[in-house]
Amino acid sequence: IFASISQAPADPILGLVSRFKADPAKKKVNLSVGAYRTEEGKPWILPSVAEAEKMVVNDTTQDKEYQPIDGKPEYKRPVQELIFNGDIIDSGCIATVQALSGTGSLQCIAQFLKFMGVTKVWCPNPTWGNHPKIFQRALLECDTYPYWHQEKRGLDFDGMMAGIEKMKEGECILLHAVAHNPTGVDPTPDQWQKIVAACKARKLIPLLDNAYQGYASGELAKDGYSQQLFTQSGMEFFIAQSFAKNFGLYGERIGYIHVRCASKDAADAVLSQMKIIVRQAYSSPPQHGAAIVNKVLTTPALKEMWLKELTFMSNRIIDMRVALRKAIEAKGTPGTWNHVTDQIGMFTFTGLSKDQVMRMVEEFHIYMTGDGRISMAGLNPGNVEYVADSIDKAVRG
Ligand code: LMR
């Protein structure tokens, strides 16, 4: 029966993590997956999360029953408040559903778009590799709009606006809410205003992938700017909110879908349909990660700790940007390297070619994605010089 099944290629991001683990080289660096690491290169359980987890585990009033299909109702407001103001939450216009982190949220939204009769989703070029696959799996057509300007090593804003002008009413546009993955390049506040106005004028359905709120500036409100603008515009739109990176809860698969609707009636109807998608896909969401997030967000001392931890993580990454750029420039490596410090969030889009990337992986055992993206969180004072040296060698060829 299965003899005709061919071997699938390894995942372009998670497959690299397995290769890194299996690599016997003494000197190796994992800059592949977007996951925070300490100065010692270790995964980090946030102290606020560890504290909340203890409280959750010791809470004898909790059981292991199924959660509601859309997650516990009392957990919704604290996560909505990370994005929306109180008035809009009170209006009942937001349909919120606990889902399986960012990917799981996007998966349900994709199915919902299909159910609504949407035919096409536009993704930035480039985007996170999983985006088009998720939409294609839901039998949606997926196309791209310009985003990255190779010569400028920055945002191709004019190209992006021209791309939006080509989109048709009722088509979906995927936008990275903050800290674009893989480029680390975001529109300025002024550019965001123009993007929102263009989406509204063309009557598009925006979908904001919010996977890195807090990682760009260390501040939730500042990193929530694009979401605020879309909310103020009065448009109806989707948000996929992940807590993998900003709570460090990668393996707990915790996130939320928010659908901002024009009325409470519409939000109630959307919620009822989204619940059908969830029920058929995985029945109901896991409770452990959701309980931890809720405990952090509803315990003032823990929330304060968490906000400080977010700033700490984003500052460490900024320090690594400075260190990497300095080390590369000190070597006189051909090219310009200001993009290393100009870019934001977890990633740097190095501009290394496919062949150079291959050398980084094969020869220097520095694991990075094929498009030249490196996770800055994988850098630390102990490996930054080695990485700079290897980039220098790869560029000089
Ligand atoms: C990444 O881009 O590295 C992360 O979003 C992890 C993933 O699932 O790909």
ipTM: 0.95
**Strand (E) or helix (H) holding 206:** strand 205-210
Write down the catalytic residue from 245, 295, 306, 337.
245
* Same domain (yes/no): 292, 388: no
Q: Is the CB of 34 under 6 A from ligand 1?
A: yes
Q: Tell me, yes or no, whether 212 and 326 share the same domain.
A: no
What span, in angstroms and rounded, lies between the C-alpha atoms of 99 and 241?
9
Q: Specify whether 209 is catalytic.
A: yes
Which letter does DSSP use for residue 184 in this model? -
Domain endpoint, select from 298, 332, 360: 298
* Whole-model pTM over 0.80: yes
Residue 235 belongs to domain spanning: 66-298
Whether residue 13 has its Cβ less than 6 Å from ligand 1? yes
Active site residue 245: yes
Same domain for 240 and 326, yes or no, is: no
Domain end, chosen from 298, 325, 346, is at 298
Structurally, how many domains does the chain consist of? 2
- Strands 205-210 and 237-242, bridge-based pairing: parallel
Domain harbouring 148, CATH code: 3.40.640.10
Q: CATH code at 371? A: 3.90.1150.10
Boundary residue ending a domain (267, 298, 329):
298
Q: How far apart are CA 30 and CA 66, in angstroms?
A: 37
The mean pLDDT values, 10 residues at a time, for the chain of 397 residues are 96 95 96 95 97 97 95 98 97 98 98 98 97 98 96 94 98 98 97 98 98 93 97 98 97 98 98 98 97 98 98 96 98 95 95 96 97 96 97 96
**Residue 36 CB–ligand 1 contact under 6 Å:** no
Of 128, 222, 102, 227, residue with least CA distance to 183: 128
CA 141–ligand 1 middle distance (angstroms): 22
